[in-house]
Amino acid sequence: MNENWLFYLNRIREKLWVKPLVMCLLSIVAAFLATLADRPGVGDWLPTVSKESVETLLELVASTMLVIAMFSVGSMVSAYASASSSATPRSFPLVVADDTSQNALSTFIGVFIFSVVALIALKNDFYEKAGVFALFVLTILVFAIVILAFIRWVDSIARLGRLGNTIDKVEAATSNAFGQRLGMPYLGGQKSDGKVANGVPVVRSSIAYLQRIDMVKLQSLAEKFDLKVHVQSLPGTFCTPNRAIATVEQPSQAEDLAEECLQAIAECFVLSDTRTFDQDPRFGLVVLCEIASRALSPAVNDPGTAIDVIGTLVRLFHQWAGGQQDKAPEVQYDRIMVPGLDERDMFDDAFTGIARDGAGAVEVAIRLQKAFESLSALKYQPVSEAAINHSRLALARNELAMTLPQDIEAVRSAARF
């Protein structure tokens, strides 16, 4: 159940309007909280603050916050466009979900609403002496929050949308997805033996990517109808109506499964037009490879970014290999059989595009061979074997793409295999 909440929480974070809406509601509540100070006897020992001074302060805040909010939106849109054009459009959700920018925009809009509401209430004599003093203190506090938020936002917006910052965000999201999958390599189910059980295939009529599998609901249905579900498509798979996403196995003496049961099982596999990082660790590798491939295009010609991405991929695969556990993972959903990730597919996602587009760049080719040498030395055999295979493939591409014998010899010297 926690996975479901985490998935929906991440989708909410990608919506730019959520936090500003919450801050607007909180600001309205804060404007009326000052009336709680208007109790008998409280105003006798509080200093007197003129309404005119509070009005002036609120008018100043109201007039400036709207301008700053509009300026921040323009800057954020420019940063988002920069991230999509310089990196890859697939990184856009991570840039939008930047907490610092969202918090700053929410603060600016919320303070604007607070100042307008408080100003209207003050001009209509809604506050007494203690309430005016409380509103003055509250306004000073809000003003200080705005200054701190603005300083943090300026520091953040200077990096938001920059290529290095985007790579860091993609790496963090991929690393988090790796960590979750290492903790539950089979999504909490049992390890599939790779054989497709003789049973009823489950298909979806939609043509889209599999975003996630609702394991809790799927386990509940399997227990209710006494079934075993063999998952055939992991999150990130492009699903079509002619491809089974799962196979349902039931006792031979049981009656045929009802269409409603198969439909309920199919709905546990959530499809969408786009992939996400949550249950799909390979998506992060694809995004990083796209960033490097774009940097290696003739229009950009930035091999340094590709080299930076290669280093990021090496760190991620070291995390993946180092996180493998000797003991069997805990099984939470015993009626669901799930295949594990194939390291060969992961290497294809991560390095094939870079090796192809950087085949003629000697500096990229050498750095790539050094990365494969580092990964081949890992004790986790699937990663080591995949690194050796891709080292040979990359060298073959280099020999076809490079024309200068010295460049080819330099890459051959760096290639261990």
Return the exposure string of 208-246: e unless at least 16 CB atoms fall within 10 Å of the residue's CB, then b: ebbbbbbbbebbebbeebebbbbbbbbbbbebeeeebbb
Please write the tens of the pLDDT for every residue from 18-35.
777 777 787 778 777 777
Distance CA 398, CA 378 (A): 25
Q: Which helix (H) or strand (E) holds 266?
A: helix 259-266
Kindly report, residue by residue over 385-416, the tens digit of the pLDDT: 999 999 999 999 999 999 999 999 999 999 98
Task: Say if strands 333-338 and 228-231 run parallel, antiparallel, or are unpaired.
Answer: parallel
- pTM of structure: 0.81
pLDDT greater than 90 at residue 199: no
Which CATH number is associated with domain 185-272? Answer: 3.90.1170.30
Report how far residue 188's alpha carbon sits from residue 216's, in angstroms, rounded to the nearest whole number. Answer: 10
Structural contact between residues 215 and 332, judged by C-beta atoms closer than 8 angstroms: yes
pLDDT tens digits, 212-266: 899 989 999 989 888 889 999 999 999 999 889 999 887 655 556 677 888 899 9
Q: Give the pLDDT confidence score for residue 42 in this predicted structure.
A: 56
Q: Can you give the residue ranges of every domain in the chain?
A: 2-161, 185-272, 278-330+341-414
Determine contact, residues 74/108, Cβ cutoff 8 Å. Answer: no
Mean pLDDT confidence for 283-294: 95
